[in-house]
Amino acid sequence: MAKYICIFCSYIFDEDVGDPAHGVPPGTKYESLPDTWVCPLCLVPKSKPGLFRKIED
């Protein structure tokens, strides 16, 4: 599974971990996150393209 980093605060969304504190279970793909999901640290919305970048292995 992939990881995505917020370009503003460096929060890492890990698909393996999800965001359980905000209702996103482990195993959730970034593409499957609802458009209403926001970065839990800086509140940047997922709905704005380019604000989260995929971390390449």
What confidence tens digit (pLDDT) does each residue in 6-57 have?
Answer: 999 999 999 999 999 999 999 999 999 999 999 999 999 999 889 999 997 6
Sign, CA torsion 43/45/46/48 = negative
pLDDT value, residue 12: 97
User: What is the pTM for the complete model shown?
Assistant: 0.91
β-pairing, 12-14 with 52-55?
A: unpaired
Beta-carbon neighbour count of residue 15 at 10 Å? 18
Domains, the chain, ranges and CATH? 1-57 (2.20.28.10)
